[in-house]
Amino acid sequence: MRAVVQRVSRASVKVEGQVTGAIERGLAILLGVGVRDAAEDAQYLADKITGLRIFNDDTGKMNLSLSDVGGEILSVSQFTLYGDCRKGRRPSYMEAAQPAVAQSLYEAFNSALRSKGITVATGIFGEHMMLEITNDGPVTILLDSSKNF
């Protein structure tokens, strides 16, 4: 699994003009599921993300986690994180999981976050979505459950 994690002051997602998820202070997560991913990858990323110390403490140092600041998560599925652009100009998505598998693991990821007491807002899997993200910092972290980066 791959995740783009952004520290935000607010974020929302709309489907067909209707807000399906919105948060205030917290993290906006774009999550891609790969063909070799399993439930363990979802749990690994949920643990990693909730423990990331990327929120400022009283001295302005990034030393606090999402739980420390009472933050929320906006989680949005994004298969294009597995787009391979090494050849040609049109990305190949051969490494992205099939929709049924990806949806199941995306939901497992969100459940793992919620089991930690985190409020999780979402988009709608497989739909065209419009995101509004106010990146705070900016702080953007790339994660891969296979530890490729």
Could you tell me if 137 and 7 are in contact, meaning their C-beta atoms sit under 8 angstroms apart?
A: yes
Contacts of 45 (CB under 8 A, 6+ apart): 1, 3, 31, 109, 143, 145
Residue 30's pLDDT is what? 98
Tell me the whole-structure pTM to 2 decimals: 0.95
Given 80, 109, 134, 140, which residue is catalytic? 80
Question: Does 43 participate in catalysis according to the annotation?
Answer: no
Residue 100: is it exposed, middle or buried by C-beta count within 10 angstroms (0-12/13-18/19+)? exposed
Given 78, 109, 122, 134, which residue is catalytic? 78
Residue 148's pLDDT is what? 83
Given 79, 119, 122, 149, which residue is catalytic? 79
Cα distance between residue 127 and residue 133, in whole Å: 18
The radius of gyration computed from the CA coordinates of the chain, to the nearest angstrom, equals 15
Residue 14's pLDDT is what? 98
Contacts of 87 (CB under 8 A, 6+ apart): none
Q: How many CA atoms lie within 13 A of 67 on its CB side?
A: 13
Q: What are the per-10-residue average pLDDT scores of the chain (149 residues)?
A: 98 97 98 98 98 97 97 98 95 98 98 98 97 97 91
Question: Domain 2-144 belongs to what topology?
Answer: D-tyrosyl-trna(Tyr) Deacylase; Chain: A; (3.50.80)
Cα distance between residue 25 and residue 35, in whole Å: 32
Question: Does 80 participate in catalysis according to the annotation?
Answer: yes
